[in-house]
Amino acid sequence: MPNLRQYWLVTLIVGALGGSLANWAGWPLPWVIGALVAVMLTRCAGSLVPEIPHGRQVGQLIVAVAIGCHFTLPVMQQVASHLGLILFAVLLTLVLAVCSVLILHRWGVPFGTGLFALMPANSSEMVHLGRQRQADTRFIAAAHSIRLLLILLTVPAVATFGMPQVVAHAPLPVIWPWLIFILAMAWLAALGFKHCKLPNPWTFGPFLICAVGVGCNNLSMSMPGWLSGCGQLLIGCALGVAFDRSFLRRAPALLSKVLVLLTGSVITTAMAAWALGAGLGMPWLSLALGMMPGSAPEMSLTAEALGLAVTLVTAMQVIRMLVIQAACLPLFRLLDRTAQVQAPASANSA
């Protein structure tokens, strides 16, 4: 069998064609969603186009720097003033995830598998933790793929087409010396985060470097649209290669249960964001994008396209990821111990 990895350029071409078509059609996040759908359909049709070497990492780094350019000093001060709201929203998201895990466990899925499958955190980290605890890693990986696919195909579209058209602001200038320097430092930060085994190193490391660099130097700058689009294209291609025919045939009954729970979680999150926004007099859609159990880059890019509070959405997504990542193992130990105690009690009463 030939080595398919050498044909990664085909993947890039397929993704670029899909992104171009989505951009022509006016679809939200065209270079992410168009590339994702094109590569996914190509693989499900039987053509196993391979993963682009280091494509996801490069794409995450570029998009993280593009988002970090929004974090000027005044904006960071505004985010700090809403820290209590951000933490409350993150805890609410965590509670919704735990409820979904408990329901999935009641439906017959082993507790550890259900927990690591439905926690809205980094998928590779959840697979790693599940493997250490003898959980079904194939199911965990599939559940996270469904989560990202569901949110990327629905949330940006509903947010975009359900919102009135916003007036596009003139883009900030591109300060090339600063941008090149920040990109280089972002790459070093990502390597450092990876060496220290921190979560999402290619997103959090570059984002932190860019936010600190822009905020501390009071810069007003942006990334050129073509470079940000290249990063989004690479991310879309990387997400698309997670799907193929075998994925669609993998435990359809279990995956359908995950899809039902995730859909309910997305709807409940939107309703909670609307209630919070109405009570606090804040734009509920910004809160909804910040609370969605999706991926920080894509939700932040959606907020940017709609003219919403990009920094608030990004801060909520980043803090959500960190809190859930930190709480995952303590929750597993606590809830697994509780389930083990309840099981013998139920057997004795029977």
Q: Is residue 346 part of a domain?
A: no
Q: Quote the pLDDT of residue 275.
A: 93
Q: What is the per-residue pLDDT across 47-87, written as a single tens digit (0 to 9) for each?
A: 888 999 999 999 999 999 999 998 887 878 878 888 898 88
Query: Is residue 105 in some structural domain?
Result: yes
Domain-located, residue 164: yes
Residue appearing with tokens 């606090």: 280
Residue 22, pLDDT score: 95
What CATH number does the domain containing 223 carry?
A: 1.20.1530
pLDDT given at position 38? 96
Give the least confident one: 57-61, 154-158, 161-165, 308-312: 161-165
Distance CA 107, CA 162 (A): 34
Does the pLDDT at position 14 exceed 90? yes
Residue 234 lies in a domain: yes
For the chain, the first-to-last Cα distance in angstroms comes to 56
Residue 336 lies in a domain: yes
Nearest to 264 by CA among 142, 137, 97: 97
In a domain, 347, yes or no: no
Segment 16-35, tens digit of pLDDT: 999 999 999 988 889 999 99
Please tell me the predicted confidence (pLDDT) of residue 160.
81
Q: Is 217 part of a structural domain of the chain? A: yes
* pLDDT tens per residue across span 87-145: 898 899 999 999 999 999 899 888 889 999 999 888 878 988 898 888 888 889 889 98
pLDDT band at 247 (very low <50, low <70, confident <90, very high): confident
266 in Cβ contact with 158 (< 8 Å): no
Q: Highest mean pLDDT range out of 28-42, 64-78, 209-223, 320-334?
A: 28-42
Work out how many domains the chain is built from and give that number: 1
* Burial group, residue 266, by CB count within 10 angstroms (0-12, 13-18, 19+): buried
Number of alpha carbons in the 13 Å side-chain half-sphere of residue 304: 24
pLDDT for 347 equals 45
Structural domain contains residue 350: no
Query: What's the pLDDT score for residue 169?
Result: 62
pLDDT above 50: residue 285? yes
Position 166 pLDDT exceeds 70: no
Q: What percent of the chain has pLDDT above 70?
A: 92
Domain assignment of residue 173, given as a range:
4-341
